[in-house]
Chains A and B, each alone.
Chain A
Amino acid sequence: MSGIHKGDPILEVRGLTVDVQGRRILDGLDLTVRAGEVHAIMGPNGAGKSTLSQVLAGRPDYEVKAGSVRYRGEDLLALPAEERARRGLFLGFQYPVEIPGVNNVYLLKAALNARRRQRGESEVDAFEFLALVRDKMKLMQMDESFLSRGVNEGFSGGEKKRNEILQMSVLEPTLAILDETDSGLDIDALKVVAQGVNSLRRDDRAIVLVTHYQRLLDYIVPDQVHVLAGGRILKSGDRSLALELERRGYDWVREGGAAA
């Protein structure tokens, strides 16, 4: 559909340095993610994981001090948040905000239409759209009432996360960044969310999982694992790195730091 082939570079982050309210949070971060890959970014609390997610999605109040980010070869940082979304970047929020009065499904439809317009496609047919959403809701084991409610309004923590994955599956992003999608989920909900993510793995799509715990990676097996601490990637490896981290703790990486 997209002219993207497995192995094409989707995201190339070089020396990314970001301040939040005057404090340095990311400090020369490098990361390359290719089509067809699932990457996990792990790290202790305060390492800068959420900042990385939000900066990539275009949060306006975070200040990029240095470095570059290329998304499919384009300068990502030059694009406003809405334009990034329309070009296929999706952020699954750690804390999806409740927006009473804005209907969940209308927002999703507007989001899909914004993406389609960017690609020069016509707006989605209302009936086809509803059928598509119903189909995806079944996969995410979501109740029909989600159709009529406000965005995340009164949703439980698990429902909010499922709603994020529902949006992702309808929007079919090229790059999905899922920020702590596993936090606050019980094991059943975690399995549903993981199944949703796995169903979206494709050769022309890249997925970045940001997580504190290894647990999620039992269900979504990543191609690469990175350890983020002190604002940069200290160590990268395959899935065994996540298991080793769980055994030895984050201090092990921080002490070994630059040697990795």
Chain B
Amino acid sequence: MSASPRPSDPLERLRPLLAELPGGGAWRSQREQLWNRLLAAGLPTTRDEPWKYANLRLLARRDLAPAAPRPITPEALAAAPDAAAGGATRLIFVDGRYQAGLAQRLAPPSSLQLSTFAAVVEAGEPDPGTPLAGDPDLVDERLRAWNGAFAVDGPVIRVPARATPPAVHVVHLATGGGAYPRTRIALEPGAQLELVETHLTLGAAEATVVAATEVEVGAGAELTHTVLQVLGERAVLLEDLAVEVGAGGHYRHRLAALGGQFARLDLRVRLAAAGAAVELAGLLFADGQREQHVRTLVTHAAPRTSSDQLYRGVGAGRGRGSYDGKVVVGVGAAGTESRQSSRHLLIGREAAFDSRPQLEINADDVKCSHGATTGTLDPQMLFYLLSRGIDAETARALLTYAFLGEVLRRFSVEPVRRAAEQRVLGRLPSAELLREFVA
């Protein structure tokens, strides 16, 4: 028997490519620093606690080199929901690179400052953000290091103080090979933004996307961040999203994880100042042989901060998934409120979902709750529907759909919610009959 390949092997193949990446002095040394850090740690394996549910073995044989630029026609983006209603700005990134020719509303309103990492690098400007979240004891930052070493582009979005620009829709299209988009979003005090991100693949391309996103929500600012992940069957998405929320700020994240072969989101939120709030909600749909993983870390670092998490997973066929969520209430975070709810439904006999909500409280006067369940369809609900003349297949599909409704109802961007609903319906049997119920 041959020895199984070491998980860090894919990195060896990447090493020579590092020298070819753009950027002068400071950028180059940052890339090398991040690369060395990644190399020292190696790619995560299931022996690493934060990765115990998510096996990255499938990367061993993949082409992870950044994809060469490739022209794209607008038809390739047809699957993206039209979230452009109301004058939204639409930005297209192909394999992590900005495609100016496909953008809508090239000249953004004055209430919105749009740039790209490529433009920043080309201008020789310093990094507008920090590639690492800077919390090495608590979190696993290898994805951020990997992304930071190879990222050449990605949206840089800033909303000036008290501005409320129209929505921004970022479409990420992966065409095959590696993509390393790096995103930075900053809302200055009192600003508001609705941000939509869609992840797509060109056809059935074997793409690997390693994405890192930094979000800063200033005092009293409000960001609603909605993500529709509808990658193709052979795509892998590994994303690390780090959010910092200032005093009285509000961050909402909505995730519809519906596609890909393997997707994992590491979402860390730091409630940095008094009154900061975060709401996270996601649906994880793991059918076929798909894997959908979410890991969250919410840190309450200031008084009167609140967090609310709602995750619902469906495991069908041989799908797998996990929710691994930790809430840390720091010393001095008195008056904290925190809720965590994760429930998973298994409709495939070989499907599996893990759920691990954790709570670490270091302050007094806090209200924290968490609940987690994994189960099958409720036989009483099923019988009730059968007894009303609904056939068994439709009844099961209907209950599965209803199970996800709690999350879908939290999607405030109508076209995205509808796109997510239609995708879910399309994956369930009796889709036509179900549409009668959800009209």
Taking Cβ atoms with an 8 Å cutoff, the residues of A that contact B are 54, 57-61, 80-82, 84-86, 91, 93, 96-97, 99-103, 106-111, 114-115, 118, 150-151, 167, 171
Report yes or no: A85 in contact with B437, Cβ–Cβ below 8 A: no
> Judging by beta carbons under 8 Å apart, are B390 and A82 in contact?
yes
The answer to whether residues A114 and B389 also contact, given A93-B384, A102-B398 and a CB cut-off of 8 A, is: yes
Partner of B388, one of A60, A80, A100, A107: A107
For B403, what are the chain A residues with a Cβ–Cβ distance below 8 Å? 101
Distance A57 CA – B383 CA, assembled complex (angstroms)? 9
Interface string of B388-404 (1 = CB under 8 A from A): 11111001001101111
Report A-chain residues with C-beta under 8 Å of the C-beta of B387.
Answer: 57-58, 81-82, 84-85, 91, 93
User: Shortest Cβ distance from B331 into chain A, in angstroms?
Assistant: 39
A82 touching B398, Cβ below 8 Å: no
B406 within 8 A of partner (CB): yes
For residue B16, CB closer than 8 A to chain A, the reply is no
Q: How far is the CA of A97 from the CA of B388 in the complex (A)?
A: 13
- Most chain A CB within 10 A, of B378, B383, B404, B439, is at B383
B:382-439 near A, CB below 8 Å: 383-392, 395, 398-399, 401-406, 433, 436-439
> Which A residues lie within 8 Å of B392 (CB)?
80, 82
Contact (A101, B386) CB under 8 Å given A82-B391, A110-B436: no
**Selected A-B contacts with CB under 8 Å, 27 pairs:** A54-B383, A58-B387, A60-B383, A82-B386, A82-B389, A82-B392, A84-B387, A85-B386, A86-B389, A91-B387, A97-B381, A99-B384, A99-B385, A99-B399, A100-B402, A100-B405, A101-B403, A101-B406, A102-B399, A102-B402, A102-B437, A103-B438, A106-B437, A106-B439, A107-B385, A107-B437, A110-B388
7 pairs of A and B residues whose beta carbons are closest in the complex: A101-B402, A114-B389, A101-B405, A85-B389, A81-B386, A111-B388, A106-B437
Which chain B residues lie closer than 8 Å to A58 at the CB level? 386-387
Closest to A61 in B: B379
What bracket does the count of chain B residues touching chain A fall in?
Answer: 20 to 34
Contacts of B384 in A (CB 8 A): 93, 96-97, 99, 151
Q: Which residues of B contact A96 (CB under 8 A)?
A: 384
Residues from chain A with a CB closer than 8 A to the CB of B398 are 102
Q: Does B380 have its Cβ within 8 Å of any Cβ on chain A? A: yes
> Chain B residues near A97 (CB, 8 Å)?
378, 380-381, 384
B389 x A109 contact (CB < 8 A): no
Q: How far does the alpha carbon of A115 sit from the alpha carbon of B404 in the complex, in Å?
A: 28
Q: State the B residues within 8 Å of A (CB).
A: 378-381, 383-392, 395, 398-399, 401-406, 433, 436-439
- Taken together as a complex, chains A and B put the C-alpha atoms of A99 and B382 apart, in Å, by 10
Q: Which residues of A contact B380 (CB under 8 A)?
A: 97
CB-CB under 8 A from A61, the residues of chain B are 379
- How long is the Cα–Cα vector from A86 to B438 in the complex, in angstroms? 22
Residue of A nearest to B391 (CB): A82
Contacting residues, chain B, for A100 (C-beta < 8 A): 402, 405-406
- A57: chain B residues at CB < 8 Å are 383, 387
**A150–B409 Cα gap in the complex (Å)?**
13
Question: Chain A nearest CB: distance from B35 CB in Å?
Answer: 47
Contact B402 A99 (CB under 8 A): yes
Chain B residues closer than 8 Å to A171, beta-carbon distance: 388
| Nearest CB in chain A: distance from B215 CB, A | 30
A110 B437 Cβ-Cβ under 8 A = yes
Instruction: Give every chain A residue within 8 A of B402 (Cβ-Cβ).
Output: 99-102, 150
Query: Would you give the shortest CB distance from A193 to chain B, in whole angstroms?
Result: 19
* Residue of B380, B389, B403, B404 most packed against chain A (CB within 10 A): B389
Contact of A106 among B378, B395, B399, B436 (CB under 8 A): B436
Which residues of B lie under 8 Å from residue A80 when comparing CB positions? 386, 392
Give A252 Cβ to nearest chain B Cβ, in Å: 34
Complex Cα spacing A151 to B385, Å: 10
Other than the known A93-B387, A107-B388, A109-B436, what 9 A-B pairs have Cβ atoms closer than 8 Å? A61-B379, A81-B383, A82-B392, A101-B401, A101-B406, A107-B437, A110-B388, A111-B388, A150-B402
Q: A101-B405, A102-B402, A110-B437 are in contact. Are A59 and B388 (CB under 8 A)?
A: no
Nearest residue, chain A, Cβ from B398: A102
**With A and B bound together, what is the CA distance between A211 and B438 in angstroms?**
36
Separation in Å of the A116 CB from the closest CB of chain B? Answer: 10
CB-CB < 8 A to A102: which residues of B?
A: 385, 398-399, 402, 437
**Residues of A contacting B439 in the complex (Cβ-Cβ under 8 angstroms):** 106
CA A58 to CA B312, docked complex, whole Å = 31
B383 / chain A contacts, CB cutoff of 8 Å: 54, 57, 59-60, 81
User: What's the least CB distance linking A87 to chain B, in Å?
Assistant: 9
Whole-angstrom distance between the Cβ of B55 and the nearest chain A Cβ: 32
